[in-house]
């Protein structure tokens, strides 16, 4: 599915077939105008990170050791939680229940970035690029962001840690 969405010449194909160009959804206003809060990571974020690291089953990982928090990428970015399996890596970005729609929107793009950077890291080491990236939310994904999640091909797990 990702390959279909990433194909660069859809507009040319649509033009040749005399089909209308796509109408891309506008960003929700709150996302476009949102300014980062700064001030570092809060207690709820830290708590959710630790919870996810201790519960790989949330991601369908049955025989997996505890995840590593604050995994540093060669780009200088830190992935919230990283699970290392024999043939695969699972990178997780978490957003707590107090994350705004803008925070979650940025989380979708963080997942895209982590996927690309980690694949490049593995490629530079001559290793298979077997990486899965997941955005884990303590709340639900806002309805306005579902189209973006689908367009970007980001896997999202919602309501994590609420009733567990």
Q: Please report, for the domain that includes residue 120, its CATH number.
A: 3.40.1350.10
Does the reported pTM lie above 0.85? no
Mean pLDDT of 72-94: 94
Distances, alpha carbon 147 to alpha carbons 1, 42, 152, 154, in Å: 14, 28, 9, 11
9-60: pLDDT as tens digits: 878 888 899 988 777 666 666 555 555 555 457 899 999 999 999 999 999 9
Q: How many domains does the chain have?
A: 1
Identify the domain containing residue 60 by its residue range: 28-34+42-157
Joined together, the tokens standing for residue 60 give: 């369908």
Residue 9 lies in a domain: no
């Amino acid at each position: 599915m990702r390959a279909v969405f990433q194909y660069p010449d859809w507009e040319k194909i649509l033009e040749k077939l005399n089909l209308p160009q796509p109408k891309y959804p506008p960003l929700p206003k709150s996302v476009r105008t949102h300014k980062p809060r700064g001030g570092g990571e809060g207690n709820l974020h830290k708590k959710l990170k630790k919870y996810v690291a201790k519960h790989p089953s949330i991601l369908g990982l049955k025989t997996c050791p505890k995840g590593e928090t604050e995994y540093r990428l060669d780009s200088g970015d830190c992935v919230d939680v990283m699970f290392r399996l024999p043939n695969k890596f699972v990178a997780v970005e978490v957003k707590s229940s107090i994350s705004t729609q803008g925070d979650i929107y940025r989380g979708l793009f963080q997942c895209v970035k982590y996927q690309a950077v980690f694949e490049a890291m593995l490629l530079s080491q001559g290793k298979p690029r077997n990486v899965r990236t997941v955005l884990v939310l303590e709340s639900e994904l806002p309805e306005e962001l579902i189209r973006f999640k689908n367009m970007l091909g980001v896997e999202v797990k919602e309501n994590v840690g609420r009733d567990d």
